[in-house]
Chain A
Amino acid sequence: MIDLTLILAAGVASGTILLFAAVGEIFAERAGVLNLGVEGMMLIGAVAGFSVAASTGDPWVGLVVAMLGGGLLSLVHAVITIHFRADQVISGLALTFLGTGLARVLGDGLSSAGAVATLPRFTVPVFADIPFMGPVLFREQSVLTYVGLLLVPLAWYWIDRTRPGLHLRAVGERPGAADAQGIGVVRLRYAYVLVGGLLAGLAGATITLAISPGWFGDQTVGGRGWIAIGLVIFAQWSPIRAALGAYLFGAIFRLILDLQGVPTILGVVNPFQAGRSATFFLEMLPYLFVIVVVIIGSREALRRRVGAPAALGIPYVRGERGA
C-alpha cells in the first residue's frame, strides 16, 4: 500500500525547498555570519518569483528576480552585521519581520489562483532507469530538483576542496589569521551572505514556481525557513548532510500523509490513521527538532562539539580579540 519509491520521490521534490535554503545558510555561516532571516528572504523570493512570472508569463524571469530579491534583502543583514557589527541574531530576526512585511505588501492584489506556467518537469533519460534511485531522483521531477542535485556536490567541492573555499573557511574560523594572510574578510563575508540570500530567494521561488504556483500569503512558506536553519546545525555545516536531511524531511512530511490511509501495521491498529490525534504529534516533530538543534547551536560548548565555524556570530574587528 505504501510505496517507498513514491514517498522518496515526493520527499526529493519538496525537500528541494529546504535544500536551497539550507545550503545558502551554510555558505553564510561557514563565512561566520549567522542569518536567521531565511524565512523572510524565502517569502520575498516566493512573492517576487510568482508576481514576475505572472506579469511576464515567463517563470524563468521570475526565478531570476526571486533570487535577486532574496539577495537584496540579505545585503541589508550584511550591512548591519558586517559593516556596523551588530548582533547577528537580532538583525536576522528583524530581517524575518522585514521580509514578511515586504512580501505581504508586494503580494497584495496578487490573485493566488492565477494560472501561471510552472517551470518544466522532465525525466532524465538513462538515469531514470537506474533501479530504485532512478524513479526516486530522475523521474518527472522539476528542473529545480535537478539544479539542487547538481548544487550539492558543487557546494561541497567548493567549500572543502578549492582555494576560495579554503579562504571561506578561514574567514569563518580565524578571521584574524585570514586577514593577516591578505584575505579580504569583510569582502568575503559580504559575498557569502549574498550567496545565502540568492539561494533563499531560489528556495522561495521553488515553492511558487515549481511546486504550487500561486501566492497564498505568509503561509506560502509556512515556517520552512526555520526548518532550514535547524537543518544546517543538524547537518554540521555540510551541504551533503543538509541535502540528505532536506530530502528526509520532505519524505517524512509525505509519509505522515500516506500513513493515514493504512488501517493496520503488522496486525496492530495504525495509530496514525486519518483523523487520529497522533497525526498531530507526527506533524509537530520537525518543529520540535528545530527547537532542539537551535538550543544545541546556541550553547557555546555544544556548538564547538558539533563543529560550528569558530567565528560564527562574532563580528570581525581588525586587531581586536586576536581572533
Chain B
Amino acid sequence: MRRHLSWLTVLMTVALVVGACASPGATTAPSGDASAAPPAPASVAPSEGAASAPPVADCAGSGTQGGADLQIPDVEEGKFNVAMVLIGPHDDGGWSQAHYEGLQYVCENVADSHVAYIELVPEGADSEQVFRSLARKGFDFIIGTSFGYMDPMATVAEEFPDATFLHLTGFKSNGKNFGNFFGAMEDFKYLAGMLAGSRAKADGNPKIGYMATFPIPEEIRLGNAIMRGVKQTCPECTMDIRFINTWHDPVKERDGAASLFDAGAQVVFTGADTPAVADVATEKGKWGVTYDHPVSCHVDACLTAPYWIWGPEYARIAESVKAATYTAGYEYFDADSKAMGLFGFMDGETPQPGAADLPAADLQKIRDTLAKVLAGEFGRFDVFAGPIVDNTGKELLPAGQKLQQSDLDQFPPGAPGAECSVCMYWWNEGITVELPPLS
C-alpha cells in the first residue's frame, strides 16, 4: 500500500502540473509562426473586405491564454512593444476577434512595432496580475478590452508610469498614462434598428427583440438606440428585452433568443458575443441581427451585423504613444472615425437576402442615414435628440434639445463632477419591459 501511495503522489503531481501548464505552455506561438494566424474570415463571410485583410505572418502576434496559471509573452528589445488583453478567444468571430485584428493592423502599420496578446483573461483580480506582469516585462503600450479590467488597469498604471494603458468600455482615466476609449456603436445599432423595423413591418409582425447582456448603461443605451432606429421605419413596432447576465454563453444565448422569438419577436438583436440569434432565427423562420464582427453574420437569417474596425484607431493612438504625444483622458469617437460598419451596406459588401428585398424607400432612407453617419453629419447626439419619451409616457427631453455625453453613459446621479441630468436609466417608448426603480 505504501508503494502505491508514493506512486500516487508522483502521478498526481504530474497530472496537476500537466493540467495547469497545458493551456499556456503549449500555445505559446513564437512570432512568425503561421499556425497562430487566425482563419481567414473571408471563407465564411461573403464579400467583405473592409474589416480584415489576411494577416501578415509576422503580425499574428505571440499569444498566450489566461487561466489558473499563465505565461506572459516577451518583448522584443528595441521595438515599440504593444500588448493586448482579451476577455474571449482571439478567434471568437466577435468582440475579441475584432480587437485582435486591430492589433494586427497596428503591427502592420506602426513602424518597428512588436505585438502580443493574452486571451481568455477573467475580469477582476486575475487580470491585475496580468497587467502588472506585462508592464514589468517592459511593454510600452498595453490595451485592455473589457469593462471589468478598468480598476485593475487603474491600479497597475500608477505603479508603472513609463507604460501607457488604454482601457475600453469603462469610464476612468488618471490623466497621465491610463486613458479611456470607446466608440459610438449606438450610431450603428440605430441603423440596424431602422433595417429591423423595416423588415418586421414588411413581414406584418411589428415586434422586435433585444437580448441584452447586463443591465449597465452601455446595454441600455444600445437598446434605446435600436428602438429609436426601429421607430424611423416602423412607428408601430414594439421591442421586448431579455438580460442574459453574461457576455458569452452559447447555450444561454440560444435560450434567450428562443425566449424572445417564442414571445412573438420577428427580428432579434444580440448584445452578446455568439451568433446564436441568427442560428435560432433560421430554425424559427425569423431574423437575427448579430454583433461585433462580420463573420458572425454567416447565415441567410442574419439581417445584418453592426461591427467594429479597430485597426486605424489603435494605430493612431499607438503612433501618439510612440511619439510621446498621447494625452490620456476620456476619448469617445463617433462613426466618422471609420471604425465601425453595418454589414452588407459598406463599400464592397452585398446586403444579406433579408435586407435586400426590403421596400426601396426604406433602403434609401437607411443608405442616406448611413452616408450622413460616415460623413460625421449624424452622430450619437442626433440618435438621442429630443423629443425623447420613455415607455411610461414621460417626456425626458423636449424637441430641439440633445442629450449630453454624461447622460449617455451613466446611471443617475452620475460620477462626482460629471453629474447627468437625464442619465441613461430609461427605456424608450415602444419597449415593453420596465426598468426597476434604482435603489
Contacts and interface: CB of A to CB of B under 8 A. Distances in A.
Contacts of A307: none
A105 B255 CA distance: 28
Contacts of B38: 109, 111
B412 interface: no
B240 A261 contact: yes
A149 interface: no
Contacts of B97: 111
Interface string B342-375: 0000000000000000000000000000000000
B128 interface: no
Interface residues of A, number: 65
Contacts of A241: none
Contacts, number: 202
Contacts of A317: 1
Contacts of A80: 8, 11-12, 15
Contacts of A107: 89
A261 B8 CA distance: 54
Contacts of B244: 257
Contact of A279 (B26, B243, B254, B258): B243
B146 to A, nearest CB: 13
Interface residues of B, number: 72
A111 B4 contact: no
A112 B242 contact: no
B120 A104 contact: yes
A169 to B, nearest CB: 26
Contacts of B242: 257, 260-261, 274
Interface string A184-225: 000000000000000000000001000111111111101010
Nearest to A96: B19
A96 to B, nearest CB: 8
Nearest to B280: A212
Interface in A52-100: 76, 80, 84-87, 90-91, 94-98, 100
B255 A263 contact: no
B23 A113 contact: no
B114 to A, nearest CB: 21
Contact of A112 (B89, B258, B283): B89
B15 A98 contact: yes
A87 B16 CA distance: 13
A219 B39 contact: no
Given A94-B12, A222-B251, A260 B433 contact: yes
A149 B19 CA distance: 34
Interface of A: 1, 3, 6, 10, 14, 17, 76, 80, 84-87, 90-91, 94-98, 100-102, 104-105, 107-115, 121, 140, 207, 211-220, 222, 224, 253-254, 257-258, 260-261, 263, 273-277, 279-280, 283, 317, 320
User: Which are the 3 A-B pairs with shortest beta-carbon distances?
Assistant: A113-B93, A101-B22, A97-B19
Given A87-B12, A219-B246, 11 more contacts: A98-B15, A98-B18, A101-B67, A104-B65, A111-B295, A216-B92, A219-B248, A258-B263, A274-B241, A275-B435, A277-B436
